[in-house]
């Protein structure tokens, strides 16, 4: 372990004081995986569950993407699309939880891909997965806070129907939301555990309040046939069957961020047990919450064309106003959704900063020594980088009014494929590395893994599609362009430095030699790390 500690000091990362007394067993297990614990382990399972629940932010995510399903199928796509994607997401979450129970580090899927692959393929597997995860974390944070900025501005139109926010106002509001999330992450870091727990209660209470208010105050209600069987994709321009799949972006985008909380493993005691449990439970809770939130909205849905004609592209405020019959009532319900934005924006930026920190400490990002530094018990510079990148991405809105589609599309694509890569490697290697997982999928493992991989392949295609046809440059879904831009950066940096110095995270052996974290044995033999330092092998 002395070699590990020396390496951390040499790279500018001082070992965290008190790690022996605060989660000492978890820190010892982390060292067996090749890292020194630097972050305080002060998060509980409920807190991680709350963080995952906050990032998915079901009522907020559904509300800000409502125009997608209103265009691509309406009731059938909204309700049954949600149920379908919830079941798929639960399968992906279970597959990731099984792996997380074996390798609980802040590197998450990036680290898992390396550990599951052979030594020869570990560097490239972790490089690709790491960049997908990093871009996914950054863009999902961008999409949450950007749509939050749009939603805040749309609240003005509840009182002033003639108000239409300019691109300049929208970007400034987005930056304001990013600034608030950044400040809370910096100066309120010690309260993140409490904030994540409050999120669960706020979201639950909001859903119940909205449900009761809409059903009680609505002047008219839709029929059960409309809610459960109405399908109309005439506004989309797509063939009916394909429009349904394009409309799945709403559910796919909302139910995506659960895997991001793996980056919090190094801040939880007993992470091999608590984090996998939180990942799966959060998706199950999100799926149920979504159904409860959607049903009253569908039963009280006002004129659909009126909602689609909203200039801001955020019709939920007008929906609330129309159903309640007053601007005050509409704003009151919208305020509950904006409260969920607060938790979602903070949680997403928290996870993104930890992902940046974990990837940087293995030398995979330009300027890694700076981004991997821990200040005030938080990865401060990783937080700064994540915030800056997100703010710059917001500038896309000046060139495309459909910038939000690009953010949601690329976030969903990157996170989905980053989840799929370690699952794919595990399947190709006979699922040997997860045979002793404390969260085993058992005899259903292969079937669940393969089903999730098929869905991810389909998702990559459909989430690059524009919401409707015909397409103009201003309304095009630029998800593939944003994705290609980051892929180019990753490729250039790999040519410049990665291929020479990057060897991935500290992989002790091929998957068949790796057991569960507790009590696992790391073979003797020196191992080289991505930054060129060598870790002396020793039996743990």
- Categorize the per-residue pLDDT at 37 as very low, low, confident or very high, splitting at 50, 70 and 90: low
Q: 133-175: per-residue pLDDT in tens? A: 888 889 889 988 998 998 999 899 888 888 888 889 999 999 9
Q: What is the pLDDT of residue 227?
A: 96
For the whole model, what pTM was predicted? 0.81
Could you give the percent of the chain with pLDDT greater than 70?
82
Tell which wins on pLDDT, 328 or 510.
328
Q: 359-416: per-residue pLDDT in tens? A: 888 778 888 888 888 888 888 999 999 999 999 988 888 877 666 667 778 888 888 8
Contacts of 253 (CB under 8 A, 6+ apart): 61, 65, 143, 408, 409, 411, 412, 463
Q: 421-453: per-residue pLDDT in tens? A: 999 999 998 888 888 888 888 889 999 999 999
Q: Which of 254-258, 415-419, 498-502 has the highest mean pLDDT?
A: 415-419
Three-state DSSP at 268 gives strand
Letter string b/e over residues 282-302, b meaning 16 or more CB atoms within 10 A of that residue's CB: bbebbbebbebbbbbbbbbbb
| Cβ neighbourhood burial of 374 (10 Å; 0-12, 13-18, 19+) | buried
Q: What is the pLDDT of residue 248?
A: 93
Q: Check if the beta carbon of residue 65 is closer than 8 Å to that of residue 42.
A: no
User: Residue 331: in which H helix or E strand, if any?
Assistant: helix 327-360
Residue range 84-93: mean pLDDT, rounded: 94
Q: 301-322: per-residue pLDDT in tens? A: 999 999 988 887 789 999 999 9
CA 265, 206, 140, 151 torsion-angle sign = negative
Q: Check if the beta carbon of residue 32 is closer than 8 Å to that of residue 514.
A: no
Tell which wins on pLDDT, 101 or 227.
227
Q: Identify the CATH class of 41-505.
A: mainly alpha
- Categorize the per-residue pLDDT at 21 as very low, low, confident or very high, splitting at 50, 70 and 90: very low
Q: What is the pLDDT of residue 525?
A: 35
CA 68, 386, 279, 377 torsion-angle sign = negative
Could you give the percent of the chain with pLDDT greater than 90?
32
Q: 335-357: per-residue pLDDT in tens? A: 999 999 998 899 889 889 988 88
Q: What is the pLDDT of residue 524?
A: 34
Nearest CA among 356, 348, 38, 334 for reference residue 196: 348
For the chain, the structural domain boundaries read 41-505
């Amino acid at each position: 372990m002395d070699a590990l500690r020396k390496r951390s000091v040499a790279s500018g990362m001082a070992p965290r004081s008190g790690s022996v007394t605060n989660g000492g067993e978890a820190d010892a297990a982390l060292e067996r995986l090749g890292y020194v614990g630097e972050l305080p382990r002060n998060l509980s399972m409920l807190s991680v569950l709350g963080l995952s629940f906050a990032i998915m932010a079901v009522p907020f995510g559904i509300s800000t993407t409502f125009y997608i399903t209103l265009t691509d199928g309406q009731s059938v796509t909204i309700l049954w699309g949600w149920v379908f994607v919830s079941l798929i997401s639960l399968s992906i979450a279970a597959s990731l939880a099984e792996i997380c129970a074996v390798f609980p580090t802040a590197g998450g899927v990036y680290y898992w891909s390396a550990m599951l692959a052979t030594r020869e393929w570990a560097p490239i597997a972790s490089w690709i997965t790491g960049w997908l995860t990093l871009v996914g974390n950054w863009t999902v944070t961008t999409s949450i806070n950007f749509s939050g900025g749009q939603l805040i501005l749309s609240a003005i139109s509840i009182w002033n129907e003639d108000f239409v926010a300019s691109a300049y106002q929208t970007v400034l509001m987005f930056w304001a939301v990013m600034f608030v999330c950044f400040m809370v992450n910096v100066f309120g870091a010690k309260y993140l555990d409490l904030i994540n727990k409050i999120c669960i209660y706020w979201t639950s209470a909001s859903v119940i309040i909205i449900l009761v208010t809409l059903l009680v105050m609505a002047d008219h209600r839709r029929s059960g046939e409309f809610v459960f069987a109405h399908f109309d994709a005439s506004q989309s321009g797509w063939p009916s069957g394909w429009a349904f799949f394009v409309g799945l972006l709403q559910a796919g985008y909302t139910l995506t961020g659960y895997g991001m909380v793996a980056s919090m493993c190094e801040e939880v005691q007993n992470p091999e047990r608590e984090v996998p449990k939180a990942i799966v439970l959060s998706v199950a809770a999100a799926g149920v919450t979504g159904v409860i939130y959607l049903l009253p909205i569908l039963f009280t849905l006002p004129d659909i064309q009126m909602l689609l004609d909203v200039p801001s592209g955020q019709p939920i405020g007008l929906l609330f106003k129309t159903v309640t019959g007053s601007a005050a009532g509409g704003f009151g319900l919208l305020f509950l959704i904006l409260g969920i934005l607060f938790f979602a924006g903070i949680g997403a930026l928290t996870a993104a900063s930890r992902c940046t920190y974990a990837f940087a400490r293995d030398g995979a990002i330009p300027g890694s020594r700076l981004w991997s530094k821990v200040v005030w018990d938080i990865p401060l510079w990783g937080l700064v980088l994540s915030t800056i990148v997100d703010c710059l991405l917001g500038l896309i809105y000046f060139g495309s009014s459909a910038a939000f589609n690009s953010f949601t599309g690329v976030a969903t694509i990157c996170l989905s494929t980053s989840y799929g890569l370690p699952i794919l490697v595990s399947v190709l290697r006979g699922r040997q590395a997860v045979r002793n997982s404390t969260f085993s999928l058992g005899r259903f493992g292969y079937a669940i893994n393969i089903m999730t991989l098929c869905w991810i392949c389909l998702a990559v295609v459909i989430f690059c599609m524009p919401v409707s046809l015909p397409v103009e440059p201003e309304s095009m879904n630029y998800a593939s362009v944003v994705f290609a831009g980051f892929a180019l950066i990753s490729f250039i940096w790999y040519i410049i430095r990665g291929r020479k110095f990057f060897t991935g995270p500290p992989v002790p052996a091929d998957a068949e030699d790796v057991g569960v974290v507790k009590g696992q044995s790391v073979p003797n033999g020196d191992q080289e790390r991505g930054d060129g330092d060598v870790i002396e092998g020793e039996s743990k």
